[in-house]
Structure 1
Amino acid sequence: MNRTTLSLIAGTAALAAVTGFAALTTPDAAGADTAKAAAQQPVERTTLLCPAPSTSDLAETSYTSFTPVTKGTGSSGSAELQSATQESADGTSSAKSDKKKAAKPVLTPKEPGTPATGDTSGGDTPALVGTAEGKSAPGWTVQETTEVVAGMGRGLQGVNCTAPDTEFWFPGVSTTADRTDYVHMTNPDDSAAVVDIELYGKDGALESTVGEGITVQPHSSEPILLSTLTGEKQDGLTVHVNVRSGRVGAAVQALDDKLGGDWLAASTDPAGSLVLPGIPKDATDVSLIAFTPGDADADLKVRLASPSGLITPAGHETLHVKSGMSTAVDLGDVTRGEAGSLVLTPTDQSVPVVAALRVIRGKGTGQETAFIPATSPVGTRATVADNSAKGTTLSLTAPNGTAKVKVTASAGSEGGTTATQTFTIKSGTTQDVEAPVPSGLRGTYALTVEPVSGGPVYAARTLAATEDGIPGFTVQTLPDDRGTVAVPKADEDLSVLQK
Structure 2
Amino acid sequence: MNRTTVSLIGVVAVLAAATGAATVLAPAPSKAAPTAAVRKPVERSTLLCPAPAGVDAATTTYTSFTPPGSGGSGGSAVLQPGQSSDGANGGSAGSGGSGGGSNGKQVAPLTDPGKPVTANAGKSVSPLIGTADGRFAPGWTVQETTTIDAGPGRGMLGTSCGAPGADFWFPGASTSGDRQDYVHLTNPDDTAAVADIELYDGNGLVKTSNGEGITIPGGSSVPVLLSTLTSAQTADLTVHVAVRTGRVAAAVQAMDSKSGSDWLPASAPAATSAVLPGIPADATSVRLVAYATGGNDADLKVQLLTPTGAIVPAGHETLHVKSGMTTAVDLPGLTQGQAGSLRLTPTDSGSAAPFVAALRITRGKGASQEMAFLPGTGQVGQRASVADNRSKAATLSLVAPTADATVKITSSATTDGGSPASKTVTLKAGTTTAMAPPDPGGKGTFAVTVEPVSGGPVYASRMLAVDNNGVPDFTVQPMPDDGGTVAVPSAGEDLQVLER
* Both proteins in one fold, TM over 0.5: yes
Q: Tell me how far apart the structure 2 counterparts of residues 237 and 369 of structure 1 sit (CA, whole Å).
A: 17
1:97 aligned residue: 89
Aligned ranges 1:247-326 → 2 under 5 Å: 247-326=247-326
Q: Tell me how far apart the structure 1 counterparts of residues 415 and 150 of structure 2 sit (CA, whole Å).
A: 29
Answering whether residue 86 of structure 2 is matched by residue 85 of structure 1, we say no
Displacement of 1:457: 0.6
Query: Cα deviation per residue 1:24-48 (whole Å; 9 max; x = unaligned)?
Result: xxxx99784231xx21110000000
1:75 aligned residue: 73
1:195 match: secondary structure: strand
2:357 aligned residue: 355
Aligned counterpart in structure 2 of residue 427 of structure 1, from 426, 429, 432: 429
2:412 aligned residue: 410
2:183 aligned residue: 183
2:24 aligned residue: none
Q: Tell me how far apart the structure 1 counterparts of residues 238 and 30 of structure 2 sit (CA, whole Å).
A: 44
1:65 match: secondary structure: strand
CA contact (8 A) 2:90 2:125 kept: no
State the identity as a percent.
58
Residues 75, 343 of structure 1: alpha-carbon distance in 2 compared, 3 angstrom cutoff: same
CA contact (8 A) 1:413 1:444 kept: no
- CA RMSD after TM alignment: 1.7
Displacement of 1:95: 4.2
TM-score (norm 2): 0.90
CA contact (8 A) 2:60 2:146 kept: yes
1:126 aligned residue: 126
Q: Tell me how far apart the structure 2 counterparts of residues 41 and 138 of structure 1 sit (CA, whole Å).
A: 9
Q: Tell me how far apart the structure 1 counterparts of residues 438 and 263 of structure 2 sit (CA, whole Å).
A: 27
Displacement of 1:99: 6.6
Query: Cα deviation per residue 1:422-464 (whole Å; 9 max; x = unaligned)?
Result: 11110100011232111x4221111000111111010010001
Residues 30, 85 of structure 1: alpha-carbon distance in 2 compared, 3 angstrom cutoff: farther
Task: Give the residue type in structure 1 aligned to 2:83.
Answer: T
CA contact (8 A) 2:43 2:72 kept: no
2:48 aligned residue: 49
Q: How many residues align?
A: 461
Q: Tell me how far apart the structure 1 counterparts of residues 374 and 298 of structure 2 sit (CA, whole Å).
A: 21
Displacement of 1:155: 0.7
Query: Cα deviation per residue 1:182-214 (whole Å; 9 max; x = unaligned)?
Result: 000000011111101000001111111310111
Task: Give the residue type in structure 2 aligned to 1:381.
Answer: R
Q: Tell me how far apart the structure 2 counterparts of residues 467 and 214 of structure 1 sit (CA, whole Å).
A: 38
Task: Give the residue type in structure 2 aligned to 1:200.
Answer: Y
Query: Cα deviation per residue 1:103-124 (whole Å; 9 max; x = unaligned)?
Result: 32232222101001101122x4
TM-score (norm 1): 0.90
1:234 aligned residue: 234
Query: Cα deviation per residue 1:130-167 (whole Å; 9 max; x = unaligned)?
Result: 00000000000000000000112101100000000000
CA contact (8 A) 1:413 1:445 kept: no
Displacement of 1:54: 0.9
Task: Give the residue type in structure 2 aligned to 1:56.
Answer: V
Task: Give the residue type in structure 1 aligned to 2:108.
Answer: L
1:151 aligned residue: 151
Residues 482, 69 of structure 1: alpha-carbon distance in 2 compared, 3 angstrom cutoff: same
Q: Tell me how far apart the structure 2 counterparts of residues 312 and 263 of structure 1 sit (CA, whole Å).
A: 28
1:471 aligned residue: 472
2:401 aligned residue: 399
Query: Cα deviation per residue 1:168-195 (whole Å; 9 max; x = unaligned)?
Result: 0000000011100000000001111110
2:89 match: secondary structure: helix
CA contact (8 A) 1:70 1:138 kept: no
Structure 1 gaps, min length 5: 1-27, 89-93
Aligned counterpart in structure 1 of residue 390 of structure 2, from 385, 388, 391: 388
1:330 aligned residue: 330
Q: Tell me how far apart the structure 1 counterparts of residues 107 and 55 of structure 2 sit (CA, whole Å).
A: 18
2:9 aligned residue: none
CA contact (8 A) 1:186 1:222 kept: yes
Residues 104, 493 of structure 1: alpha-carbon distance in 2 compared, 3 angstrom cutoff: same
CA contact (8 A) 2:81 2:91 kept: no
Q: Tell me how far apart the structure 2 counterparts of residues 116 and 200 of structure 1 sit (CA, whole Å).
A: 40
CA contact (8 A) 1:57 1:121 kept: no
Query: Cα deviation per residue 1:198-253 (whole Å; 9 max; x = unaligned)?
Result: 00001111111310111111110000000111111101100000001100000000
Q: Tell me how far apart the structure 1 counterparts of residues 62 and 498 of structure 2 sit (CA, whole Å).
A: 55
Task: Give the residue type in structure 2 aligned to 1:378.
Answer: V
1:96 match: secondary structure: coil
1:436 aligned residue: 438
Task: Give the residue type in structure 1 aligned to 2:89.
Answer: S
Structure 2 gaps, min length 5: 1-28, 94-102
Displacement of 1:295: 1.1
Displacement of 1:70: 3.0
Larger Rg: 2
Q: Tell me how far apart the structure 2 counterparts of residues 384 and 29 of structure 1 sit (CA, whole Å).
A: 45
Aligned ranges 1:96-115 → 2 under 5 Å: 96-97=88-89, 101=93, 102-115=103-116
Displacement of 1:69: 1.3
2:62 aligned residue: 63
